[in-house]
Structure formats: C-alpha cells, structure tokens
Amino acid sequence: MKLRSWHINFSLLVITLLLSNAIYSQKQQDSLTQYYKLSKADSLPIPIRLEYINSFLKGAYLSQKDSLIYNGLMWKTWLLGKDNRYDSAIIYTRQLYDLAIEKKDTLYMQKALLKFGIYHKRNNQLATSFKYYNENFKLSKITKDNPLCI
C-alpha cells in the first residue's frame, strides 16, 4: 500500500512539474511577443525600442528557435541603421550572417549580405559595399532567390 501511495505522489509531482514548465514556457513566449511588439512601436524612441529588442533576443537565444533569432537580429539591425549607428548595425549583421552560414540558410545569408552592402554604403565605404552587393548577387544567381526586400 505504501508503494502505491509513493507511486501516486511521484506521478503527481511529475505531472505538476510538466504543467508548471509548460505554463512557464507559455509565459516566456508571451513576454517575447510583447517585447517584439514594443520594439516595433513607432511611438517609442529608438533607444527604448532597442532595449525591447535586446530583451527579445535574450529570450530568443534561450529558446534556441532560429526563426526568432533571425527576426530579432533583422529588426535590431534595422533599428540601429535607423539610428545612424551603422558600425553597430554591421556587428549585428555579422551575427545574422554567421547564424545563416551555420544553419546553411541561403535566404538569410543573402539578406545579411544586402544589409552589409547598405550599411557600408551609408558609412561611405563604397568599395566594401559593392563587394557585399556583388556577393549577394552571385548567391542569388546560384540559389535563384531574390531577397531585394529585406
């Protein structure tokens, strides 16, 4: 009888842990959604929006979901470019590009190459900008993808 009681208690503990983990996971997903929405709010100043996208990216990296990380990096680089912080935008574009290389994701490789070209052009580094635009063009010919819209 004691063994059965122990088994029932253990089963209840496992079910409770699984449910609490699922609830925590859902809350984490909800907060990521909220951070992302706030980072997109045009009514907020860019530095505040960058704080929200940073929080989003922390959660995205913890969740290890590539699609969230890609979206976060794409949006962070856009915000940095909008704030004329092209050197920082290039650094985060490098993270985007490295992730795309690691995952063998040619679409995001192309998007990153295009962003490299844009930010180097805005920094008046025209030869480097051309190099990235050209790499993007070559990759698009090979893959038959065309990410002209970022």
The confidence score (pLDDT) of residue 103 equals 96
pLDDT for position 143: 85
Q: Is the pLDDT of residue 10 over 80?
A: no
Segment 5-23 shows an average pLDDT of 55
Per-position DSSP letters for 102-134, written without gaps between them:
HHT-HHHHHHHHHHHHHHHHHTT-HHHHHHHHH
Looking at per-residue confidence, does 61 or 7 come out higher? 61
How confident is the model over 37-83, as pLDDT tens digits? 999 999 999 999 999 999 999 999 998 999 999 999 999 999 999 99
* The pLDDT of residue 28 is above 70: no
* pLDDT of amino acid 6: 53
How far apart, in whole angstroms, are the C-alpha atoms of residue 3 and residue 98?
A: 54
* Confidence at residue 86, expressed as pLDDT on a 0 to 100 scale: 97
Angle at 102 between CA 29 and CA 50, to 5 degrees: 45
Residue 19 has a pLDDT of 47
pLDDT given for residue 144 in this prediction? 77
Cα first-last separation, the chain? 65
pTM of the model: 0.76
pLDDT at 22: 47
pLDDT tens readout for residues 88-126: 999 999 999 999 999 999 999 999 999 999 999 999 999
Distance CA 131, CA 137 (A): 10
| pLDDT exceeds cutoff 50 at 24 | no
Residues 112/104, Cβ–Cβ less than 8 Å: no
